[in-house]
A and B are shown apart, each in its own frame.
Chain A
Amino acid sequence: MNLQFVVDGLLAGSMIGLGAIGVTLTYSILRFSNFAHGDFMAWGAYATLAVVGAIGAIFGKIAPIAPLSFGWPLIVALIIGMAATGLLALALDMVLFARLRAKGQAIIVVMASFGASMALRSLLEFIFTSRPTYFSRAIQIAMPIGFGIRITPDQIALLLLTAVLVLGVHLLMTRTQTGRSMQALSQNAALARIVGIDVARVVRVTWIIGGALACVAGVMIGILIQIRPFMGFEMLLPMFAAAILGGIGSVPGAVLGGLIIGMAEAAAVQLIGAEWRAAVSFIILMAVLFVRPIGLFGVRER
């Protein structure tokens, strides 16, 4: 058996996992499934692409950094794109979700997010057309690293970036006052207010983190595959599967869930054929939920 699926699975899992962090935080803190989360990925990728284009227009052609396919403009653009996507999520909450949340019906917010998802996607098609586009058309040579596995420098860089971001978010959640406030809010919103937590502020932080990580996932897809308006929407089901598999509200759970789903999909492509790709992740999800309905890292509600 060829072990290449391990690298493919890790990469797919990283993209799914970064997205699933946002899904799981929104679900546990705001108590609704945000179907527009996938489109934050696409918007992040296009925003980053636009900034790369702007930098190119100002500074001319800039050589990529040694073995990578991209140079500093993409790194700068990613940081700007993360901020922009965070602000997009925040703006969407202010004009749409917050108003509906105030009326108190969760299902209406979920439906609104579905509508927002379609609107965001159509807007991308309108601005950028639905033709796929790329950060770079350069072809990278994959290096053999033993056991029949090959990996490109871009892939190594993106796996490292994912690891750093996941560790960062985990430390934020467990070691900072903001993270503890987010935990508190997800466990008991009324009590969170009583102990002096500014709920509106914590909600803003949640959107910004979720949006920024979605942007990174979108840019990863853009670097490794391609950029299309539908790229995020197609990630929606694997992201939800990962968030539920890991246990709603758990950041490490979302990442582990993403890696499991990514690995399973990659293995399925190799072992039983690409057409089973989506089915396999859901079979795993169902199997886990039968045995452990709260997910891997989930905690039973009292």
Chain B
Amino acid sequence: MSQKVLDVRDLEAGYEPGVPIVRGASITVDQGEIVVVLGPNGAGKSSLIKAIAGLVPITGGTVLLDGKNITASPAHIMVRLGLAFVPQTENIFPLMSVEDNLRVACGILRPREVPARIEEMYAAFPDLARQRRTAAGNLSGGQRQMLAVARALIVHPKVLVLDEPSAGLSPKFVAMVLEMLAGIRKSGVTILLVEQNAKAALAIGDRAYVLVEGKERHQGVASELWNDPVVAELYLGQRRLDLGQGSAA
């Protein structure tokens, strides 16, 4: 077994005391893996990874990054610890240029290595290089996600955590963004993502967890999970049920 980069044990978290949204979830992400968290609406997927990233109060359990306890560290410290988070929406600074969006995230790098690191990002994302002076708010949806991901990667994180990177994108961009993540993994970055778009996410993932009511109920190899009857029952079953109710009405 390869090394665990992220090791989340019995995590309990929620915005209000006594009302946990994440209820004892345990997941692990190994070095160089893409791990996908799936689940029906309201299962607590976003809350789970936001809690991991220090954005939702944690009431129980631990988060280990490379064996180090980072549970409930302040959000701005997470980057220093090696965990970079990409929020689902409003994940760029709209009035700043593309370049300043990248540069503002370089606070933990040595000033001397910043220009070269920005150029590396431009090499990896040529679309951004062409628009380096453009205000980020003027980018297309797909380019915004690209910028948000590049900004997270610029500090050499040990793990990249993304909240529904394909949300709100047209089908063409969904494929593009997920392909981009597959490419990033090839360069050795470990990725944990939540996705509503199960089929597309399983296509690029190595392993996946199905989260139901704040706890992981099932896990497996991503490529096998789509046809797994347990998943159909836990996750897709619920969707069929919804459809059934819809057609009955």
Contact = CB atoms under 8 A, between A and B. Distances in A.
Contacts of B76: 192-194, 196-199
Contact of A196 (B80, B91, B93): B80
Interface string B89-125: 0111111100010011111100100000000000000
Contacts of B87: 190-191, 194
Interface stretch (A97-105, A177-185, A236-244): A177-185
Given A177-B107, A183-B93, A184-B93, A194 B75 contact: yes
Contact of B155 (A177, A190, A196, A299): A196
Contact of B96 (A187, A190, A193): A187
Nearest to A178: B107
Interface residues of A, number: 19
Contact of B94 (A187, A195, A197): A187
A191 B90 contact: yes
Contacts of B106: 177
Secondary structure class of chain B's binding surface, majority of residues:
helix
Contact of A188 (B53, B79, B90, B103): B90
A195 B151 contact: yes
A183 B100 contact: yes
A180 B98 CA distance: 12
B137 interface: yes
Contacts of B91: 191
B178 interface: no
7 contacts: A180-B103, A187-B94, A193-B75, A194-B53, A195-B104, A195-B107, A198-B76
Interface of A: 177, 180-181, 183-184, 187-188, 190-199, 299, 302
A-B pairs, top 4 by smallest CB distance, nearest first, are: A196-B79, A193-B75, A195-B105, A180-B104
Given A184-B104, A192-B76, 11 more contacts: A177-B111, A180-B96, A180-B100, A188-B93, A190-B90, A191-B91, A191-B93, A196-B80, A196-B108, A197-B107, A198-B76
